[in-house]
Amino acid sequence: MPALVLLGAQWGDEGKGKATDLLGGSVDYVVRYQGGNNAGHTVVVGDQKYALHLLPSGILSPGCTPVIGNGVVVDPSVLLSELSGLNERGVDTSKLLLSGNAHIITPYNVTVDKVTERFLGKRKIGTTGRGIGPTYADKINRVGIRVQDLYDESILTQKVEAALDVKNQILTKLYNRRAMAVDQAVEELLGYADKLAPYVADTVLVINQALEENKVVLFEGGQGTLLDIDHGTYPFVTSSNPTAGGACTGAGVGPTKISRVIGILKAYTTRVGAGPFPTELFDEDGEALRRIGGERGVTTGRDRRCGWFDAVIARYATRVNGLTDFFLTKLDVLTGWEQIPVCVAYEIDGKRVEELPYSQTDFHHAKPVYEMLPGWSEDISKAKSFADLPKNAQSYVKALEEMSGAPISAIGVGPGRDETIEINSFL
Ligand code: GDP
Ligand code: IMO
Ligand code: MG
């Protein structure tokens, strides 16, 4: 039962899209299990660059069936435009499967996301403004709209009425905004029904049958471990579970089926939006990481906050996800530094702390304790094996592996599919 989970080990944007695409040619299914179009996964194939937000990165591998699982929140207009954009570029998207149980990001949820952020003022989360949080909130409040509701106008209308009942009170009385009309929302949603119909399926059944037939299934996470609603830096998180357990609930597979959990780990750290980030840099090193690493958001175009590698976070990701492997990305970006600081522990109120504190107050006070590792100046982008790397780059990788608690099985030395050093096979 080769079922693999591939997820972000930090705050997102670790290179999940590239890693998924790399495996896409050898797997039968790639399943997104949580999040929505807050994700931005970049895949570079030859001279072509693709930015995927909602579609699993396996969509670019012709033999692979891409699946949007029940745990994902789907903005139908984004999905349809992403599909037509790929079709225009000659990518066949006809195999896509969309769970009938996935929740829909309605136009009013996008509005609520933006209005809420504005009213939070300086306490805002810095969301992507795509309606993710309000859609998951509706799901938990049991007033959400699911893909299957598009095929029963009467049920859809009742559900939109129920959802807007409370929301319109909040919008008009609390936020001083105009109420949203039920019939307008229903009409817009019904307009997507026929276009989505060819893709809608019982994806839980499909995935489990595939596993019974010994097909290879890869579960592709959005966001990252520290953005997890339960295990991340709450409240500065997204509203779903990117951690490994999320693959089980968000795709409908039992934990006993998962054979491998791969954490995608950047050789330094980035974060978009608000929230604590102990190794964040505000100097020219941070600027250099941003420039060399091209650290600008794929979804919102915001500059990413940049900092040194944080081993405390990597260890935490190993633990909460049960990681079996790491895929270390963007090692090439660190070329040229004489010495590279790596955070090995925190100092909190004068005490050395080796593990991520569960308390938000403590984490806000965490100061990084750095160890200096020697850098390298040679171009590593053509390296094909571990032995091709300069000695100091090898030592950097080995040091990170030792601190992080799981083997580093692949190393990214550039954005392209072939710019990867494979150490242990994932399949
Ligand atoms: P994701 O959200 O985890 O899929 O990551 P993003 O696509 O948001 O950001 C990762 C960026 O780094 C993308 O622009 C990738 O093309 C790029 N990238 C991925 N792996 C490597 C690598 O090993 N080296 C370099 N230089 N770039 C990489
Ligand atoms: P990928 O899949 C980085 C961040 C937002 C914000 C917080 C909540 O490309 O790694 P949301 O819109 O989800 O309610 O915003 O989460 N965030 C991401 N940061 N990469 C992502 O996705 C992200 N998706 C959400 O910036 O801080
Ligand atoms: Mg991204």
Region class of 368: left (phi > 0), else alpha (psi between -120 and 50), else beta: beta
C-alpha span between 423 and 404 (Å, rounded): 17
Burial of 158 from C-beta contacts in 10 A (0-12 / 13-18 / 19+): middle
Residues 145 and 225 in one domain: no
Last residue of some domain: 153, 177, 196? Answer: 196
228 and 170 housed in the same domain: no
The phi, psi pair for 58, rounded to 5°, reads -65, -10
**Quick one: what percent of the chain has pLDDT higher than 90?**
97
Pocket test for ligand 1, best of 10, 18, 302 (most atoms within 8 A of CB): 18
Over residues 343-358, the mean pLDDT reads: 97
Separation of CA 247 and ligand 2 centre (Å): 18
Instruction: Answer yes or no: do 253 and 318 share one domain.
Output: yes
Please tell me which residue in 13, 28, 149, 228 is annotated as part of the active site: 13
Task: Indicate whether 307 and 393 sit together in one domain.
Answer: yes
Strands 339-348 and 351-353: antiparallel
pLDDT at 1 over 80: no
Residue 28 lies in a domain: yes
Examine the domain organization and report whether 132 and 86 are in the same domain: no
Helix, coil or strand: residue 116: helix
0.85 cut: is pTM over it? yes
What are the tokens at 367? 């100061």
Tell me which residue has its CA closest to atom 8 in ligand 1: 13
Which residue lies with its CA nearest to atom 18 of ligand 1? 415
What is the pLDDT at residue 362? 97
| Alpha helix (H) residue ranges in 323-388 | 360-365
Ligand 3 centre distance from Cα of residue 330 (Å)? 14
Shared domain check, 184 and 78: no
Q: What is the DSSP letter of 294?
A: T
What is the pairing mode between strands 65-68 and 97-99? parallel
Does 61 share its domain with 124?
Answer: no
Same domain, 86 and 114: no
Q: Is residue 97 part of a domain?
A: no
pLDDT at 31: 98
Q: Is 194 tagged catalytic?
A: no
Atom of ligand 1 nearest to the CA of 39: 2
**Residue 53 DSSP label:** S
- Which of 400, 252, 418, 417 has its CA nearest to residue 334? 400
The owner of tokens 């299957």 is 148
In a domain, 328, yes or no: yes
Instruction: Provide the CATH number for the domain around residue 30.
Output: 3.90.170.10
Q: How many CB atoms lie within 10 A of CB 1?
A: 14
- Rounded Cα distance, 394 and 139, in Å: 46
Does 313 reside within a domain? yes
Nearest of 6, 3, 70, 8 to residue 34 by alpha carbon: 70
Q: Residues with beta carbon inside 6 Å of ligand 2?
A: 8, 11-13, 38-41, 125-128, 130, 132-133, 222-224, 227, 238-239, 272-273
- Nearest ligand 2 atom to the CA of 227 is 16
How many other β-carbons are positioned within 10 Å of the β-carbon of residue 84?
12
354 within a domain of the structure (yes/no)? yes
β-strand pairing of 258-266 with 103-104:
unpaired
Q: Which ligand is nearest to the CA of 128?
A: 2
Q: Which of 314, 317, 343, 335 is nearest to 382 (CA)?
A: 335
Does the pLDDT at position 13 exceed 80?
Answer: yes
Q: Is there a single domain that holds both residue 291 and residue 384?
A: yes
Closest ligand 1 atom to residue 412 Cα is 23
113, 115, 226, 227: which to mutate for ligand 2, most atoms within 8 A of CB?
227
Q: How far apart are the first and last CA of the chain?
A: 11
Domain-located, residue 427: no
Q: Locate the ligand 2 atom nearest the alpha carbon of residue 240 and give its number.
A: 13
What is the CA(390)–ligand 2 centre distance, in A?
Answer: 34
What is the domain count for the chain? 2
Residues 300, 161 within the same domain: no
The answer to whether residue 41 is catalytic is: yes
Cα–Cα distance for residue pair 343/369, rounded to 1 Å:
5
Tell me how many degrees the CA angle 7-8-14 measures, rounded to the nearest 5.
Answer: 130
Mean pLDDT of 233-257: 98
Catalytic residue among 28, 41, 53, 113: 41
Atom of ligand 2 nearest to the CA of 300: 26
Residues lining ligand 3 (ion), CB within 5 A? Answer: 13, 40, 298
Token pair of 319 as six digits: 């633990």
Instruction: Based on the fold, state whether residues 298 and 418 are members of the same structural domain.
Output: yes
Question: Which of 175, 196, 217 is the endpoint of a domain?
Answer: 196
What per-residue confidence (pLDDT) applies to 175? 87
pLDDT digits (tens, 9 = 90+) for 60-99: 999 999 999 999 999 999 999 999 999 999 999 999 999 9
Which pair of structure tokens corresponds to residue 72?
Answer: 């994902």
Residues 83 and 229 in one domain: yes
- Structural domain containing residue 276: 3-91+202-422
pLDDT band for position 298 (cuts 50, 70, 90): confident
pLDDT recorded at residue 70: 98
Q: How far is the CA of 40 from the centre of ligand 2 (A)?
A: 9
**Under 8 Å between Cβ of 386 and 394:** yes
Read off the pLDDT of each residue in 164-181 and give the average, rounded to a whole number. 92
Selection from 369, 384, 372, 388 nearest residue 416 by Cα? 384
CA of 12 to the centre of ligand 2 (A): 7
118 within some domain? yes
Residue 293 has what pLDDT? 98
* Residue (of 233, 230, 304, 296) closest to 269 by Cα position: 304
Distance 235 CA to ligand 1 centre (A): 26
- Where among 196, 222, 253 does a domain terminate? 196
Which residue's CA is the nearest one to ligand 2's atom 6? 127
Strands, E, within 229-284: which ranges? 258-266, 269-271
| Residue 125 within any structural domain of the chain | yes
